[in-house]
């Protein structure tokens, strides 16, 4: 548990510093987005509030993405703290009770991430694109976290309403479904 605390402190300190020192564009923006995805949302939001610097993206969910990642990381941390305290581990316990569920979720999220990233690369090159229905199907099949990570890191489909609102809603629904199934003892 101490290793997780050190991880989050380091990632948040890095996100805080990157956001405070951020220039208008370039690689630090991509690095800051990566820090937010891996747990640095509180550091970025604090730096933004204190120094009025950082990402100035526009769009319907410019500030919501760090808040979504913050909520997801808080849910994971709560489940880990519950497990460390002798509890069942909350909704994460379902991953251990259903054989293959963790592997399936890892694979579908990786597939969604790479499909979104490939679509962004193909869009930049003016080549054949991945169908929007296929991208949404991957998110619906359990890959919403991977899809959201690619959307955030690659800056892809963030202004398309069905993706900007739909993928975070799918992620919330998938987390709620997993929590409900775990509470009912089904998963």
The most confident of the ranges 68-77, 134-143, 166-175 is: 134-143
| pLDDT attached to residue 186 | 65
28 or 144: which leads in pLDDT:
144
Reported pTM: 0.71
Distance CA 35, CA 99 (A): 31
| pLDDT attached to residue 149 | 87
| pLDDT attached to residue 3 | 83
Mean local confidence (pLDDT), 56-82: 71
Residue 112 scores a pLDDT above 90 = yes
Q: 133-137 — which CB contacts under 8 Å span 24+ positions? A: 135/163, 136/162, 136/163, 136/166, 136/167
Q: What is the per-residue pLDDT across 170-181, written as a single tens digit (0 to 9) for each?
A: 988 888 888 777
Mean pLDDT is lowest, of 33-47, 53-67, 130-144, 150-164, for 53-67
Mean local confidence (pLDDT), 142-156: 87
Buried b (16+ CB within 10 A) or exposed e, 36-56: bbbbbbbbbbebbeeeeebbe
């Amino acid at each position: 548990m101490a290793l997780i605390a050190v991880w989050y402190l380091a990632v948040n300190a890095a996100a805080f510093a990157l956001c405070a020192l951020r220039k208008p564009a370039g690689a630090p923006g991509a690095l800051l987005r990566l820090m937010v995805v891996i747990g640095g949302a509180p550091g970025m939001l604090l730096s933004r509030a204190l120094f009025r610097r950082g990402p100035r993206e526009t769009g319907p969910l410019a500030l919501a993405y760090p808040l979504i990642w913050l909520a997801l990381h808080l849910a994971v941390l709560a489940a880990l703290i519950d497990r460390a305290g002798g509890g069942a581990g909350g909704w994460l316990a379902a991953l251990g009770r259903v054989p293959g569920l963790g592997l399936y979720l890892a694979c579908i999220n990786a597939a969604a991430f790479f499909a979104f990233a490939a679509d962004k690369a193909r869009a930049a090159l003016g080549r054949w694109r991945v169908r929007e229905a296929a991208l949404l199907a991957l998110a619906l099949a359990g890959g919403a976290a991977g899809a959201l990570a690619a959307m955030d890191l690659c800056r892809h489909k963030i202004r398309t309403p069905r993706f900007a609102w739909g993928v975070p809603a799918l992620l919330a629904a998938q987390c709620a479904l997993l929590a409900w199934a775990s509470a009912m003892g089904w998963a």
